């Protein structure tokens, strides 16, 4: 369950899950929806796969990602989305970054 | 060519543990009833709550057991119906548990039976609508031998069919009385097992 909480704590990963709710998508299609590098997206997808929230299949040259969430996990995703839930360990880094931005 | 890169069956252990606990609870209830350890009303309420818990558990795990795409176009493989059915079963199961905890027994039994049958009708409607969106007809279901997740889906289907049978029997008991419900109790498991044997035989013939 820890892996699920970790996976749901990131807004990018939550957005990936929301996109996959519509239909299964290839890694390329998903990459087109974000302003992040492919290796970063690949790392996010790997966290989601580790948590068992998505499943991937190789079709020809592309890898297709499909949602694999229980109702409880779906409810947790809705909860995390509503309350902007993030991991505690992310907070100091983000707040210090915000502090730096304010100083400059 | 399609190759699955994620086969870890994370849903198996919780499913097996839940089934073992469920079996133990059923045995305990039957023993309590036969040896008159508990009042009849308490046993009826406990049995109803147990059915609600099974519906919650089955509904929760249903969208998790995704079948592999197996070469299908990703755009035609929407799992929306599974997700909707899962939510319907979980919410209906929670409502049933609440009804059995709060309502008087003579009201709880018919209310839960109607709720159960309605939840199944809604889930079937969602599947039909999804089938229509995918091209007017439901796809042939994948063989139970094709993948572990597919096999688990068949097992879950059996549990859900058993639950539907239970709710229908409670409803029949309320409407037509004990005699009809007893006959249904005989014929439902027979129909269920015949269906399973037919599916396995056809799938085995197809995979040869």
Q: What is the pLDDT of residues A40-95, one digit of tens each?
A: 999 999 999 999 999 988 888 888 898 989 999 999 999 888 887 665 545 544 44
* Mean of pLDDT over chain B: 76
**Cβ atoms of residues B151 and B90 within 8 Å:** no
The per-residue pLDDT for range A91-100, each reduced to its tens digit, is 544 444 444 4
Answering whether pTM is above 0.80, one says: no
**Which residue in chain B is spatially nearest to A53 when comparing CA positions?**
B64
How many Cβ atoms from other residues are within 10 Å of residue B81's Cβ? 21
Looking at chain B, which residue has its C-alpha nearest residue A26?
B74
B-facing residues of A in 75-104 (CB < 8 A) are: none
* In chain A, residues 27-56 whose CB comes closer than 8 Å to chain B: 49, 52, 54-56
The Cα–Cα gap between B8 and B18 comes to: 19
Which class for A67: exposed (0-12), middle (13-18), buried (19 or more C-beta within 10 A)? buried
Return d(Cα B48, Cα B46) in angstroms, integer.
5
Per-residue tokens: A19: 């996109």
Tell me the C-alpha distance between A70 and A53, whole Å: 8
- Residues of chain B with Cβ-Cβ distance to A58 below 8 Å are 2-5
CA-wise closest residue to B76 among B120, B121, B136: B136
């Amino acid at each position: 369950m820890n892996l699920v909480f970790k996976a749901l704590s990131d807004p990018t990963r939550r957005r990936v899950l929301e996109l996959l709710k519509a239909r299964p998508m290839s890694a390329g299609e998903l990459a087109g929806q974000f302003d992040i590098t492919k290796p970063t997206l690949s790392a996010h997808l790997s966290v989601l796969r580790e948590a068992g929230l998505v499943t991937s299949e190789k079709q020809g040259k592309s890898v297709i990602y499909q949602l694999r969430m229980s109702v409880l996990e779906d409810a947790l995703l809705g909860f995390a989305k509503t309350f902007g839930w993030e991991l505690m360990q992310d907070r100091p880094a983000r707040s210090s970054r915000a502090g730096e931005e304010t100083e400059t | 060519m399609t190759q699955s890169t994620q086969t870890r069956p994370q849903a198996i252990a919780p499913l097996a543990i839940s089934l073992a606990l469920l079996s133990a609870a059923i045995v305990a209830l039957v023993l309590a009833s036969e040896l008159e350890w508990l009042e009849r009303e308490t046993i009826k309420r406990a049995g109803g709550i147990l059915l609600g818990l099974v519906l919650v558990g089955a509904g929760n795990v249903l969208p998790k057991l995704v079948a592999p795409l197996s070469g299908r176009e990703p755009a035609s493989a929407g799992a929306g119906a599974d997700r909707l059915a899962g939510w319907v079963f979980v919410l209906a199961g929670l409502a049933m548990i609440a009804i059995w905890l709060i309502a008087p027994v003579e009201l709880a039994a018919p209310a839960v039976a109607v709720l159960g049958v309605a939840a199944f009708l809604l889930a079937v409607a969602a599947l039909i609508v999804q089938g229509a969106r995918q091209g007017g007809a439901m796809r042939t279901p994948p063989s139970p031998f094709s993948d572990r997740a597919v096999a688990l889906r068949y097992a879950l289907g059996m549990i859900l069919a058993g639950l539907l049978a239970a709710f229908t029997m409670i409803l029949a008991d309320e409407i037509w009385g004990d005699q009809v419900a007893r006959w249904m109790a005989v014929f439902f498991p027979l129909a269920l097992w015949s269906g399973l044997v037919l599916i396995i035989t056809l799938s085995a013939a197809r995979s040869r």
